[in-house]
Amino acid sequence: MQLVRNAVTNCSLNAVDLGVAPTRWQQDTFPSYFHDSLYCCHDGIRTDLLKPDPDVEISLGRLDKPLTRDDEVFTFMARNLERARGFHVLMRALPQIQAERPNARVLIIGGNGSSYGKKSTHPGGWRGEMEEELGQRVDWSRVHFLGKVPYEAYQKVIQISRCHLYLTMPFVLSWSCIEAMSMGATVVATDVAPVREAISHGKTGLLIDFHDPGHLAKQVVEVLANPEEHAHLGVAARKHAIKHYDFLTRCLPMHINRINSLVKTGAKISLP
């Protein structure tokens, strides 16, 4: 099956003048003889638009008043709530987090389908499967499944977060990870190769073992309990995102330069 999935890429290798990979980890997955035809550069994000907002508020139907930065909120986001993106790890960490932080609420963004792995056989999808597994061990009144939300609402969720979780198997590095960094979030992420390119443990975020919900719970509890002691991580994360992933000043110029390097004569692309 893996050979079939790689067929289109393999057929294209000899036809490509220049290829791009958004992370070094992805670049290294290609055959070594093709590396000279690749360069590494992320798509880039708009760090000028994705900023912290200390005055952000979010209203939820079941709550009497809006959530603010003063509330104990942690967050999780994925296109779909599935195992490849660590949804099951988050859910299995919830009982411990809730037991130690009785005022904490989690805001979860994502659909209940499957983007990258196999679908759940449960009629309620992965969400239904985890709800059945955890049962009364979780206080569901403090778990907020928001589904798929508009981009502006997603930004507010990250901006209000005291601790944002980015959980993934070794896979494509999500824009959401870099976007959360740009918005100054304290990010707790899984310690896998593509994530380590963006997050250095203790400097721009915190890394945990993907297969250990207890480790995740312990780290989240620590951040929720001591937000001031971890605030420097979000500041450093934003600086790192601006320096390495900004679309206008870093990534777009590099892409244009690489494209222009292929043009022997005639007009070349210029920055807008």
For the stretch 117-141, pLDDT in tens is: 888 999 999 999 999 999 999 999 9
What is the percent of the chain with per-residue pLDDT over 70, rounded to a whole number?
A: 98
Nearest Cα to Cα of residue 90 among 223, 214, 228: 214
Q: Which is higher by pLDDT, 177 or 17?
A: 177
Chain length of the chain: 272
Nearest Cα to Cα of residue 51 among 193, 238, 212: 238
Nearest Cα to Cα of residue 154 among 82, 91, 77, 85: 77
Q: For residue 7, what pLDDT band results from cuts at 50, 70 and 90?
A: confident
User: Given this model, what pLDDT does residue 11 score?
Assistant: 78
Per-residue pLDDT, averaged over 195-208, amounts to 98
Average pLDDT of the chain is 94
User: How many angstroms separate the CA atoms of 177 and 87, rounded?
Assistant: 15
Q: Which is higher by pLDDT, 272 or 154?
A: 154
Is 240 strand, coil or helix?
Answer: helix
Count other Cβ atoms within 10 Å, centred on residue 43: 13
**Exposure b/e, 103-124, CB count within 10 A at least 16 = b:** ebbbbbbbebebeeeeebeeee
Domains and CATH numbers, the chain: 2-46+246-260 (no CATH), 73-243 (3.40.50.2000)
For the stretch 12-62, pLDDT in tens is: 777 888 999 999 999 999 888 888 889 999 999 999 999 999 999 999 999
Task: Answer whether residue 171 shows pLDDT above 80.
Answer: yes
User: Given this model, what pLDDT does residue 2 score?
Assistant: 63
Q: Residue 134: exposed, middle, or buried by beta-carbon count in 10 A (0-12, 13-18, 19+)?
A: middle
Tokens standing for residue 40 = 């590494």
For the stretch 88-103, pLDDT in tens is: 999 999 999 999 999 9
